[in-house]
Amino acid sequence: MASVEICAAPETMDTTPLIGNGILRQHLIDPEICIRCNTCEATCPVNAITHDDRNYVVRAEVCNGCMACIAPCPTGSIDNWRAVPVARAYSIEEQLGWDALPAEQPPSAWAAEDASQHATPAPATAPAAPSAEPGAQPFHAARYGASVPPWSAAHPYTNLFPPKSPTTATVVGNYNCTEAGFASETHHVVLDFGSLPFPVLEGQSIGIVPPGTDAQGRPHRARQYSVASPRNGERPGYNNLALTVKRVTVDHQGNALRGVASNYVCDLRVGDTVQVVGPFGSSFLMPNHPRSHIVMVCTGTGSAPMRAMTEWRRRLRSSGKFEGGKLLLFFGARTQQELPYFGPLQSLPKDFIDIHLAFSRTPGQPRRYVQDLMRERAADLAALLRDGNTHFYVCGLKSMEEGVVLALRDIAEDSGLAWETLGATLQREGRLHLETY
């Protein structure tokens, strides 16, 4: 995730959407390259980006050209512009129906337009969220998320197989890693690449291309999934990787919906082949510095990169030659039955990782969330916030992001740390990473 503060445009680029003479420099997303990772929508500070079940699009009347979404995009699909008259700006409805970007027209092509028909309005901004204190700025958690990796992170390889040129992997494992029923089950899926180089690091992701076409007869787009295995494979020394995929059976409103990609992946059988793009991601990476501390906060399938980081540390530790820093995990789910990898988590040594589980829908119990557990461990987190070797990773549903960052802010300030200064430092040094969807 990116911070608005560091995403200034290059000096050669005008960040104002209006070029002049009624010509708009409209920001667009390339549907042929986009992998639907939601990074742009989560990052945008003015809520200019939205999506349907196929395309991510930009509202021309809201985008202010701040460039906050450019750097975090893993594919570059976000970095596209078209010069159009304000009165002819591509609508949301048009963009949602695209299979490819429209041809680019130079500004001179619009010279014959009557400028009087295109009054130049001020760039629109999204309304500010209500604030408890008059004159106070709304809290925007995403602005503290780093877009650079930790200084000691290993070098990632990205876009080896772009969306237009996928490769093939073979399914060598697929099992339900929860105790939940069909509607809420989460699968652990292992893909093997044979002799084909496909290096990945903890925190990176890949895209899976579902077969077939949508209701309009168009090929399905790739869907993004975080890698749940460490850099040397789900099975050490093998060229494979694991994914954590939740079967989608309802939408956010609770209406019945069969997710195309998630159900395809969950139903894969050993021996099946899948089309894969990627890998993606160059900032949400774990530190290699042995004494670095890692605080992991996740919900549901947001546990995938945390599992990868934990397993890599566990393998290093088992070698007997690794002196690692602290590992803390705050993991949330609706119920214990819906929490992925609950069993294996119980077998990890207590002196290796400090685990705290939050369940929000346990019958007869009060709702507890990851930020509640963090506040209960305020003294330990305050000490880690003071340590320059501490790295924080947050992954899961978008709704958790603000609560988690607010908890960090309150813990810092209650211990005498200035959050604005500390938050900016964590962001600048690549020590607070937010990956929510």
Encode pLDDT of 137-165 as tens digits. 678 888 899 989 999 999 999 999 998 89
Tens digits of residue pLDDT in 279-293: 999 999 999 998 999
The reported pLDDT for the residue numbered 19 is: 62
- Plot region of 14 (φ>0 → left; ψ -120 to 50 → alpha; else → beta): beta
List of E strands, 337-377:
354-359
**Choice between 284 and 22, residue whose per-residue pLDDT is larger:** 284
Q: Which amino acid is at 225?
A: Y
The pLDDT of residue 11 is 34
pLDDT at 66: 86
Q: d(Cα 32, Cα 54) in Å, to the nearest integer?
A: 11
Q: How far apart are alpha carbons 278 and 35 in whole angstroms?
A: 9
**Rounded CA separation 273/275 (Å):** 7
Burial status of residue 61 (CB atoms within 10 A of its CB: 0-12, 13-18, 19 or more): middle
The DSSP H or E segment spanning 293 is strand 293-299
- For residue 3, what pLDDT is reported? 32
197 has a pLDDT exceeding 80: yes
Q: How many CB atoms lie within 10 A of CB 295?
A: 24
Helix (H/G/I), strand (E/B), else coil: 37: coil
CATH architecture of 141-154+283-436: 3-Layer(aba) Sandwich (3.40)
Question: Which residues lie closer than 8 Å to 340 by C-beta, 6 or more apart?
Answer: 177, 178, 186, 188, 244, 300, 301, 303, 333
User: Cα–Cα distance between 170 and 174 in angstroms, integer?
Assistant: 11
Q: Determine the average pLDDT of the residues in 327-346.
A: 94
How much is the pTM? Answer: 0.82
Look up residue 89 and give its two tokens. 């700006």
| The CATH homologous superfamily of the domain defined by 167-280 | Translation factors (2.40.30.10)
Check residue 347 and give its pLDDT: 92
Query: Domain segments of the chain: what residues?
Result: 4-106, 141-154+283-436, 167-280
Higher pLDDT, 320 or 404: 404
**Distance from C-alpha of 283 to C-alpha of 109, rounded to nearest angstrom:** 40
Nearest to 158 by CA among 203, 103, 110, 192: 203
Q: Which two tokens stand for residue 20?
A: 């002049």
pLDDT at residue 1 is higher than 60: no
Q: Confidence class of residue 106 from pLDDT cuts 50, 70 and 90? A: low
CATH topology of domain 4-106: Alpha-Beta Plaits (3.30.70)
Mean pLDDT over each residue of the chain, to the nearest integer: 86
- Give the model's pLDDT for residue 43: 79
Residue 100: the pLDDT is: 87
For the stretch 50-90, pLDDT in tens is 988 788 999 988 898 888 888 778 888 888 888 888 888 89
Q: What is the pLDDT of residue 133?
A: 47
Residue 398 falls in which region: left (phi positive, over 0), alpha (psi -120 to 50) or beta: alpha
% of residues, the chain, pLDDT over 70? 88
User: What angle do helix axes 398-414 and 378-385 make, rounded to 10 degrees?
Assistant: 80
Closest by CA position to 113, among listed 243, 21, 192, 25: 21
Q: What are the tens digits of pLDDT across the range 252-305?
A: 777 888 889 999 999 999 999 999 999 999 999 999 998 999 999 999 999 999
Mean pLDDT for 101-115 is 65
Q: What is the spatial distance between Cα 427 and Cα 437, in angstroms, rounded to a whole number? A: 19
Q: Which residues contact 58 (CB under 8 A, 6 or more apart)?
A: 26, 27, 28, 29, 48, 49, 95
